Amino acid sequence: MSTGYNLPTGGGKTFAFWYALFYHWDTENDALISALAVNSEGDKMDDIFENTPGEDDCLKHRVVFVSPETASSNSFHKQVLRNKTSRDNCVELVINEAHCAKYGQPGKLLVRLPSGLPVLFSSATMPEEVIKDILFKVGLIPEQVAVSNAKYNVALSIRVLQHPTTTYADLFSLFPTGENEGFPQTIIYMNSRTEVEQIQDFLHRHRPLHMPEDIFEFYHRNITETRKEYIQKGLQSGKLRCVIATDALGIVCT
């Protein structure tokens, strides 16, 4: 099974690149992870291995950072990928910034690696259309790929504001049109603490009569930890229908 890792910039994608090593970890022999960067000219390929007298090549490094161009080159294939020691110890192919992949390039590399090797591809830009494009370019079967944050009831949508931003009048579209309908669970992100508090007041003033005030809350870093926990649990349970927040709530969601 391969994995598509969809996480925003600064969300810790790089840490996930090492998970496969932990699965095969030998605590008695490994005090740290040794890594090597191979440049675009292909220098340092020989440094991946070390020769032991009377034995086959041994791996000197656990991780190799290499550009797609170099990894797909004939010289890298000959010196590294065809090496038995390298193939026997290859546990994962990681493709960072996968949305930038060129057609056929990752797929060419994948066929040179051991059959069935798991692939981890990551990006902060992976709506459904981009994921399909990545799978096509890499040559992966969708049924054999698990995508993090795969929520098919979530879609990207951009709307042009019809009213001045200071009026918050465009938020009227969030209120249900049917009598006694509930407010769709929503998180509204704003840039400042003042704005999130003002929007809560706006929603309180304009809510339908059947809708209670306490379904709307604001969230920023200056509220108490007790209040933060209350809001997080309210979102999980569905009691809170709308939270207006700064990026402090984004850190919690991540």
Amino acid at 246: T
> What's the farthest any 2 CA atoms get from each other in the chain?
84
Backbone angles phi, psi at 64, to 5 degrees: -125, 120
Strand partners, 2: 145
* pTM of structure: 0.52
Q: What is the DSSP string of 12-24?
A: -HHHHTTHHHHHT
Residue-range definition of the domain harbouring residue 60? 2-147
Q: Which two tokens stand for residue 191?
A: 């840039």
Amino acid at 174: L
pLDDT the model gives residue 172 = 94
**Burial of 121: CB neighbours in 10 Å, binned 0-12, 13-18, 19+:** buried
pLDDT the model gives residue 150 = 67
Domain CATH number, residue 194: 3.40.50.300
Would residue 159 count as lying in a domain?
no
57/83 same-domain check: yes
Query: Which residues does the chain have with pLDDT short of 70?
Result: 11, 23-57, 60-61, 103-104, 149-156, 251-254
Q: How many domains does the chain have?
A: 2
pLDDT the model gives residue 103 = 64
> Residue 2: helix, strand or coil by DSSP?
strand
8/35 same-domain check: yes
- Let me know: does 95 contact 138? Beta carbons within 8 Å: yes
125/47 same-domain check: yes
Segment 156-213, tens digit of pLDDT: 677 899 999 999 999 999 998 888 888 999 999 999 999 999 999 999 999 998 899 9
102/27 same-domain check: yes
Would residue 153 count as lying in a domain?
no
End position of a domain, from candidates 94, 121, 147 = 147
C-alpha angle 72-78-79 in degrees, rounded to nearest 5: 100
Instruction: Give the position of tokens 């070390």.
Output: 50
141/42 same-domain check: yes
- Let me know: does 45 contact 75? Beta carbons within 8 Å: yes
